[in-house]
Structure 1
């Protein structure tokens, strides 16, 4: 299957590292003009350099903006007023006991993980409808279905992503604009690597071995029995953004190694 996005512009929020950066690079490799987004200009510049080093012919621009606020969206829109593809990847996570999670932390997770995708979609989707083609992807998580006891606030936001995406897909019925969620599982991003570093040092194992041990211990229902790569998640997202995925909308597409024990 040859995915050609050479006439498309794609915005990937929160794409200066991890899964977001892999998605941005995957879309660029398929020919899309990609807009990288992060909160700080230096991280945006570094991400653009990483993509263009790997893909010298890639068309990549960047916008530094905090999309957890309306002001950040205004900055993004002023720089990039139109997009054919929107990947709502921006998100934060942290382990925190329910009884120690403050109102302010709940609000922060909602603003970053949920409301950012709502406001960015509200801004960019109408033009997609006008042109009769568009792709919107929300990066959710298997934690949105299997709510972690030690990250209830995070799991809640990932469930909300699924709700928004499904509802928006139905709202856009017949327009040519598809809306889907992609659900990664444990993935070897920079954040997860940092979390695993103590195990690497203490046990003298590789990062990959530590990640695989984490999956087997914390997500024993995993069928692949290993941690995923960011590229594996990005591959699913790139396909979902492609013309070939035209009959896929309102779906929750799992790329979590079979952790969710369901045939649906």
Structure 2
């Protein structure tokens, strides 16, 4: 299967590092022109330069779209910089361990602002154009935590559960227009942020390979993959769902979780 996204424009929020950066690279490798997003212009410029240097012949390219999409002003700036978008990937998200009873109202609000409302804000801005053009893809990067609420970060899990409903609701809004809206349930993934999170839960003196194994054994024992997922593996699914091959997939929560969720359906 050769996926060709030549001529398509994409925007990936939170794409200067981790899963978002891998998604941006994957979409561009398939031919799309990808707007890279982050809060700081200098960080975005560095990511665009590095991604462009790694790009092969016949691929798309990258543009800079800095701004904090968890605010109205930042989202407006990103939308203006990105221009018309065929593929919107709402990847921006925050996570962290905290005892359930210690999570304050302010922290609950922050998680909803970044993990839920930022996606809603971007969909509200860009979905109308997709509907008018009769084609588009909206992909919200959710998590296995949307289905299996983790005791150590309840606020994160609840925010990702809400994102599943956001995806389903906007898929209904786009019904019959040629635009699809889906969630991607990403499982435990190897990123710099996750390395920090792992060391919040296991002995910091352990080398990374041992720490990762201890984390999966003690905190994610139901994973069938029995290892952390690499960001590129999440990107492969996103690129597929962005393509014409996924034209009949909408309103769904597609799993790239390493078999972590112990259910036939999400």
TM-score w.r.t. the length of structure 1 is: 0.95
CA–CA distance in structure 1, aligned partners of residues 232 and 212 of structure 2? 16
* Aligned match of 2:43: 43
- Say whether the 8 Å CA contact 2:6–2:31 is kept in structure 1: yes
The equivalent of 2:248 in structure 1 is 247
What is the CA distance between 1:103 and its match in structure 2?
1.1
Report the CA distance shift for 1:164/1:31 in structure 2 as closer, same or farther (over 3 A).
same
Unaligned runs of at least 5 residues, structure 2 = none
Distance (whole Å) between structure 1 residues aligned to residue 196 and residue 155 of structure 2: 21
SS of equivalent to 1:202:
coil
- Flag structure 1 segments of 5+ consecutive residues without an equivalent: none
Q: What is the distance in 1 between the residues matched to 2:54 and 2:109?
A: 38
Instruction: Determine the C-alpha separation between the residues in 2 that align with 1:77 and 1:252.
Output: 25
Comparing 189-198 with 5-14, greater Cα deviation is found at 189-198
- What does 1:117-196 correspond to in 2, within 5 Å? 117-196=119-198
Q: How does 1:50-61 map to 2 (within 5 A)?
A: 50-55=50-55, 57=57, 58-61=60-63
Q: 2:261 and 2:188 mapped to 1: Cα distance?
A: 12
- Count of paired positions: 262
* Structure 2 residue aligned with 1:100: 102
CA contact (8 A) 2:29 2:56 kept: no
In structure 2, the residue matched to 1:226 is 227
- CA deviation after TM superposition for structure 1 residue 192, in Å: 1.1
Q: Deviations over 1:122-154 (max 9, x none)?
A: 100111111110000000000000011111110
Q: 1 CA distance for matches of 2:90 and 2:209?
A: 27
1:202 pairs with 2:225: no
CA distance 1:81–1:186, change in 2 (3 Å): same
Give SS of 1:35's match: strand
Structure 2 Cα separation of the partners of residues 145 and 196 of structure 1: 20
| Rounded Cα–Cα distance in structure 1 between residues aligned with 2:134 and 2:184 | 23
Structure 1 residue 5: Cα displacement: 0.4
Shift of 1:172: 1.1
Q: Give yes or no for contact 1:208–1:227 (8 Å, CA) kept in 2.
A: no
Residue by residue, what CA displacement relative to the aligned partner does 1:102-128 show, whole Å, maximum 9, x if unpaired?
111111111100000001001001111
- How far did residue 191 of structure 1 move? 0.4
Distance 2:39 2:155 in 1: 22
Is the 8 Å Cα contact of residues 168 and 179 (structure 1) preserved in structure 2?
Answer: yes
Corresponding position of 1:235:
236
With 117-126 and 209-218 compared, the bigger mean Cα shift is at 209-218
- Please tell me whether the aligned partners of residues 188 and 230 of structure 1 are also in contact (alpha carbons under 8 angstroms): yes
CA deviation after TM superposition for structure 1 residue 200, in Å: 8.1
1:61-119 Cα distance to aligned partner (Å, 9 max, x none): 01110000100111112222310000000100011112211111111111100000001
Superposed CA offset, 1:198-217 (max 9, x none):
868623x3x34432331222
